[in-house]
């Protein structure tokens, strides 16, 4: 199988439509409607043979009827909105030109998440052209406001609940095929998210006496908020090793190499893993503890005027095993200042962890072998939030994996500068989804 000619051109056209959900109030909904219309043009078979529903203004749900209605369905997810671009950033090519150069398709959304969306549609369109019918129903769930934590995917998930449908498998964006995923680990690994941390936004605020800056009080509102933020160190939350991380280490412990003994030791001692990973910092530390990141400060209107109020916005990613309520209470205790108000603006608890000893994970591993034979499927815990979080509370098998190889340099372009995807990876990603869809008859109906 080869991807139909023009997959790169099709992705280029998708990228050229600026579906920036954070700017919908300025741009309006026209780009999103244009994108939805473009999908009809690019994938006529999908629109001719699958049933399509518009769920909320920005949600698309396609149903591909399978051969056996008694089997629970599979849900393949993606989103078609993208994050904004900082005009001051120096891109090699304009971010919404969809430039094809040097074996890549450049542009905002190439990796997050129009590229992964495209390979789903490429696989379905090609299978339809061959007259294929899946063993069970396949739903395609595409949202247009994932980047702004919108309600499209939430409403689609609620639609499944209302209709009494429990998917057999849900697969969304998340992990990728990476090289050297941990220190001293050699070779490719297809990192499959079996759970994800919760997301939480908190505002810290304080009031104080305003007035002229020439005679400040001992503790201004700005100083009080600044002190509160300074008390939120990386060690604010305890480090614990979730099961998904232990399973990841068990996998790497089975690989030959300089790290084999180390990861065997860590896999057998979760308490030691938590200590080591937290000291490594970065992604390893984020796997084992709740992270705290102050992102915005507000207060004051003039250089020589004391503001009567000040605030800071803090983004937290809540570790598996913890909760939004417990996290907020720990913040209050750590700040230890009753004059600093801690308000949870939004928050969702972390997901449960999906199994890896089941037919669903085995099918993903088989599809990985078809698309990236040198890689093996490895479970891990995802730090960012995805639309699949709306399914994991009623669906036992939810996974997060984009079937595209991404170097560390490429992963850094997600939400950054020069985001791009290798054209060859579009073919491999299509091959993955073809293998996944054609293998959906692997399980019997649930008793």
> How many residues are given for the chain?
447
In the set 81, 112, 122, 349, the catalytic residue is: 81
Distance CA 234, CA 280 (A): 12
CA-wise closest residue to 316 among 341, 350, 356, 275: 350
Instruction: Name the residue among 295, 312, 318, 311 with its Cα closest to residue 236.
Output: 318
Greatest pairwise CA separation for the chain in angstroms: 80
| H or E stretch covering 305 | strand 305-306
Q: Quick one: which H or E segment has residue 348?
A: strand 341-348
Do residues 388 and 172 make contact, with C-beta atoms less than 8 angstroms apart?
yes
Distance CA(232)–CA(333), nearest Å, equals 11
Say if residues 6 and 121 touch (Cβ distance below 8 Å).
no
Buried b (16+ CB within 10 A) or exposed e, 388-425: bbbbbeebbbbbbbbbbbbeeebeebbeeebbbbbbeb
How does DSSP assign 150-190, residue by residue? Answer: -SHHHHHHHHHHHTT---SEEEEEEEEEEES-STT--SEEE
Cα-Cα-Cα-Cα dihedral sign, residues 83, 89, 93, 94: positive
Burial pattern 76-114, b for ≥16 Cβ within 10 A else e, equals bbbbbbbbebeeeeebeeebbebbbeeebbbbbbbbbbb
Whether omega before 180 lies within 30 degrees of 0, making that bond cis, reads no
Residue 76's nearest CA partner among 57, 59, 62 is: 62
Rg (CA), the chain: 23
- What's the rounded Cα separation, in Å, for the pair 311 and 342? 10
**81: annotated active-site residue:** yes
Question: Of these residues, 125, 146, 147, 348, which one is catalytic?
Answer: 146
Say whether 267 sits in a helix, a strand or coil. helix
Which neighbouring-strand residues pair with 347?
200
Which residues participate in catalysis according to the annotation?
81, 146
């Amino acid at each position: 199988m080869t991807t139909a000619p023009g997959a790169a051109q099709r992705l280029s056209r998708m990228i050229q439509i600026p579906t920036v959900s954070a700017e919908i109030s300025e741009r309006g909904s026209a780009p999103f409607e244009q994108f939805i219309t473009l999908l009809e043009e690019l994938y006529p078979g999908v629109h001719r043979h699958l049933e399509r529903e518009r769920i909320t203004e920005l949600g698309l749900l396609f149903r591909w009827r399978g051969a056996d209605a008694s089997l629970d369905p599979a849900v393949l997810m993606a989103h078609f909105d993208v994050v904004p671009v900082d005009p001051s950033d120096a891109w090699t090519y304009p971010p919404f030109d969809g430039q094809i150069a040097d074996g890549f398709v450049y542009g905002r959304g190439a990796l997050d998440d129009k590229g992964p969306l495209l390979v789903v549609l490429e696989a379905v369109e090609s299978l339809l052209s061959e007259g294929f019918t899946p063993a069970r129903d396949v739903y395609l769930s595409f949202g247009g406001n994932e980047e702004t934590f919108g309600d499209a995917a939430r409403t689609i998930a609620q639609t499944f609940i209302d209709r009494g449908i429990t998917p057999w498998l849900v697969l969304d964006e998340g992990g990728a095929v990476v090289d050297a995923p941990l220190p001293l680990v050699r070779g490719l690994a297809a990192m499959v998210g079996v759970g994800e941390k919760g997301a939480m936004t908190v505002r810290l605020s304080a009031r104080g006496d305003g007035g002229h800056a020439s005679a400040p009080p001992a503790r201004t509102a700005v100083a009080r908020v600044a002190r509160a933020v300074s008390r939120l160190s990386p060690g604010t939350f305890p480090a614990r090793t979730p099961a998904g991380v232990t399973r990841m280490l068990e996998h790497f412990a089975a690989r030959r190499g300089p790290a084999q003994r180390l990861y065997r030791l860590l896999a057998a001692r979760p308490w030691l893993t938590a200590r080591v990973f937290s000291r490594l910092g970065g992604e390893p530390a984020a796997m084992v503890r709740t992270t705290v990141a102050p992102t915005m400060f507000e207060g004051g209107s003039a250089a020589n005027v004391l503001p009567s109020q000040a605030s800071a916005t803090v983004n937290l990613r809540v570790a598996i095993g913890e909760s939004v309520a417990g996290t907020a209470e720990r913040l209050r205790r750590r700040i230890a200042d009753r004059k600093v108000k801690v308000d949870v603006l939004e928050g969702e608890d972390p997901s449960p962890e999906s199994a890896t000893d089941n037919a669903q994970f085995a099918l993903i591993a088989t599809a990985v072998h078809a698309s990236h034979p040198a890689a093996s499927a490895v479970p891990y815990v995802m730090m960012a939030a995805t639309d699949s979080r709306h399914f994991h509370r009623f669906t036992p098998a939810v996974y997060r994996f984009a079937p595209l190889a991404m170097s560390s340099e490429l992963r850094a372009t997600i939400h950054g500068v020069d985001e791009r995807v290798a054209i060859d990876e579009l073919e491999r990603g299509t091959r993955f989804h073809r293998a996944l869809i054609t293998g959906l008859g692997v399980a019997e109906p649930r008793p």
